[in-house]
Amino acid sequence: MNLISNSMRGPWTLFKKELLRFWRVSFQTVAAPVMTALLYLLVFSHVLESRVQVHGVNYTSFLIPGLIMMSVLQNAFANSSSSLIQSKVMGNIIFVLLTPISYLEFFLAFLASSIVRGLVVGLGIYLVAIIFIDLPMVHPWLILAFAVLGSALLGAFGIIAGIWADKFDQMAAFQNFIIMPLSFLSGVFYSIHSLPPFWQAVSQLNPFFYMIDGFRYGFLGVGDISPAISLSVVGASFFGLSLITLRMLKTGYKLRG
Amino acid sequence: MTPAIKIEQIHKHFGTLHALKGIDLTIEQGEFFALLGPNGAGKSTLINLLAGLLRPSSGKLSVMGFDVVQQYRQARHALGVVPQELVFDPFFNVREMLRFQAGYFGRGTENDPWIDEVIEALGLADKATTNMRRLSGGMKRRALIAQALAHKPPVLVLDEPTAGVDVELRQILWEFIKRLNREGHTIILTTHYLEEAETLCSRVAMMKQGEIVVLDSTANLLNHFPGKNLRLKLGSALPQSLSAMLRNEENGEYMLALSEVTQVEYVLAELRSANVVVEDMQLIEADLEDVFVELVGRK
């Protein structure tokens, strides 16, 4: 029995291909980010665990949700952006462009695969972390909502970057000068209440801050701001970025001349 | 019957470059059609427009009656394109790539026997589970053709499919493409090997600077071009009086273009009067290359 109708099989195949693409190199795309996150955890928790408490919880418990979400976001971005830039540079993007897959289906397939990769990496870090630390999970649905919405937002951002970049070094610039600073300065390692008022205000302009804080709220039940505000900001950002991405795909920007 | 391809007043601009200048072309179903022209003539641009990889500045294109812009899904279902460059996805093997390609067109496991058939016919059976990265250039070319056929399109466009391909593989490819044509597929070919177009294609369009300058059946083009070539191996240099007829010179052999066969007498008389010894001589029929040079060069 065919579970997928013929009309949906095109985008479904593209989604499956994107999943298989990152799974074929899972040592690099899943194991490596899990390892990196655990090294951060080891170093920071060792140094700060006995000295710092944030929102009344010990530092390691505060840090883990932030590290998980940072990896979720970075890997969701990496999935769509690296796939697109590789396909463009190697020229095999035409195999998809020649097909009847619409721009909306293209968007959904790349977005879904980015979400899956983000969630797989996040789950990997969580499963290893809870071997060592007893981590509460106060609002599981909030955790899932922020993980899915956050990875969708970064997946869309990755599509934009992948379409815009013509060379690998342009993509590296995107990663190193936008994604890395935004994720490191989002409150993964600290509460923004520990910052001077000016930097607190600046932090609130960073959409990564809302994703990290809302996700952490799901685990700990405490955060820098209300999860409803975070969810609204993340949802609105996703909506806005999706419109830009769909516009680029519809007009064929840098894909169809 | 609906034409396989219908192109009406297509213009394409890239900035200030007017790459296609009002192309009109109809290709009927079942034709084996050649699109010829020098580099930069606009052949690949026209193919990319048909495939939806480029958008026309103005004009209409349709594949099997489906507008490539308005009815792009149906048009793309009807078209298979073999790109000029050896592009491939390094993550997958041949069979996986073909299944994915068919899947993009909505075809599932029911299409697997056709994929097996294509793999077999193109001599890819022992490479079906080999990663695309590990294939030789010739095998990658075969895989590209297989990919274009994965969804069983009625119209197949091959953009320079035999560029850099050895003679044996070229023969295999052409036997397979001829078989597809016999089975009803419309084939559109661009090639720099004009003898291929002459042997295979029933109709030819020659492009130059974004325009179709010649459009006729291959037979008509050859019949209407009565010229012949005279290949000479001489004991000394070609006399000055014959230099106007010289087409090319290679390894001491001269190729002279004759507008009619009676010019042989004139050539021999000139050689005799210049005391040039003829070591070897061969009269050769004009081929599509001569027609191409004459018509495209002149226009």
- Report d(CA A219, CA A192) in Å as an integer: 18
B143 CB neighbours in chain A (<8 A) are none
Sequence-distant (≥ 6) Cβ neighbours of residue B287 within 8 angstroms: B194, B195, B198, B222
Nearest residue in chain B measured CA to CA from A16: B100
CA B238 – CA A227 distance, rounded (Å): 92
User: A55-64, A211-220, B84-93 — which is least confidently predicted?
Assistant: A55-64
Cβ-based contacts of A10 with chain B (< 8 Å): 103-106
Per the domain annotation, does A2 fall within a domain?
no
CA atoms within 13 A on the CB side of B61: 26
Q: Can you give the C-alpha Rg of chain B in angstroms?
A: 23
Query: For position A3, what pLDDT does the model report?
Result: 59
> What count of CB pairs under 8 Å joins A to B?
87
A223 interfacial to chain B (CB closer than 8 Å): no
Q: Which residue has the higher pLDDT, A37 or A114?
A: A114
Q: Is residue A3 part of a domain?
A: no
Helices (H), B155-262: 167-182, 194-200, 218-223
Q: How do residues B171-207 score in pLDDT, each as one tens digit? A: 888 888 999 999 999 999 998 777 888 888 999 999 9
What does the pLDDT average to over A222-246? Answer: 96
Q: Do A91 and B76 touch (CB under 8 A)?
A: no
Please tell me the predicted confidence (pLDDT) of residue A253.
Answer: 94
Q: Is B200 helix (H, G, I), strand (E, B) or coil?
A: helix
- Domain count for chain A: 1
CB-count exposure of residue B94 (10 Å: 0-12, 13-18, 19+): buried
Predicted local distance difference test score (pLDDT) of residue B192? 75
Cα B147–B210–B142 angle (5° rounding)? 15
A128, two tokens:
């290893």
Tokens of A214: 């809302």
Window from A75-84, A225-234, B214-223 with minimum mean pLDDT: B214-223
Query: Closest-CA residue in chain A for B57?
Result: A257
Residues of B with CB under 8 A from a CB of A: 14, 48, 51-55, 72-74, 76-77, 79, 81, 83, 85, 87-92, 96-97, 100-101, 103-108, 147
What are residue B205's DSSP bridge partners?
B35, B215
Q: Alpha-carbon distance A191 to A63, whole Å?
A: 10
Q: Give the residue with greater pLDDT, B259 vs B122.
A: B122
- Residue spans of alpha helices (H) in chain A: 6-24, 26, 32-48, 59-90, 94-97, 103-132, 140-164, 168-174, 180-184, 197-203, 207-220, 227-251
Give me the interface pTM, i.e. the ipTM.
0.90
Task: Name the residue facing A14 among B52, B104, B107 (closest C-beta).
Answer: B104
DSSP H stretches of helix in chain B: 43-51, 72-77, 94-104, 112-121, 137-149, 167-182, 194-200, 218-223, 263-273, 288-298
CATH 3.40.50.300 location in chain B: 5-223
Q: How far is A254 from chain B (nearest CA, A)?
A: 10
**Partner residue facing A256 (CB), from B53, B83, B100:** B53
Instruction: For residue A128, give every residue at least 6 positions away whose Cβ sits within 8 Å of its Cβ, in sequence order, or none.
Output: A34, A38
Q: What is the mean pLDDT of residues A145-174?
A: 96
Q: Which fold has domain B5-223?
A: Rossmann fold (3.40.50)
| 3-state SS class at B48 | helix
**Residues 6 or more apart in contact with residue B276 via CB below 8 angstroms:** B234, B235, B236, B237, B238, B239
Does position B154 have pLDDT exceeding 90, yes or no? yes
Q: How far apart are CA B297 and CA B299, in angstroms?
A: 6
Host domain of residue A90: 8-251
Lowest mean pLDDT among A64-73, B62-71, B276-285: B276-285
- Give me the half-sphere count of Cα atoms (radius 13 Å) on the Cβ side of residue B176: 22
Judged by a CB distance cut-off of 8 A, whether residue A17 touches chain B is yes
The single residue listed with the structure tokens 């130059």 is: B208
Instruction: For residue B104, give the nearest of A4, A24, A101 by CB distance.
Output: A101
- The arithmetic mean of pLDDT across residues A156-185, rounded, is 94
Asked if pLDDT for residue A55 goes beyond 80, the answer is no
CB contacts of B105 in chain A (<8 Å) are 10, 99-100
Question: B106 and A252: CB-CB below 8 Å?
Answer: no
The pLDDT assigned to A213 comes to 95
Give the pLDDT confidence score for residue A4 in this predicted structure.
67
C-beta separation of B83 from B145 below 8 A = no
Q: What is the mean pLDDT of chain B?
A: 90
Q: How far is A12 from chain B (nearest CA, A)?
A: 8
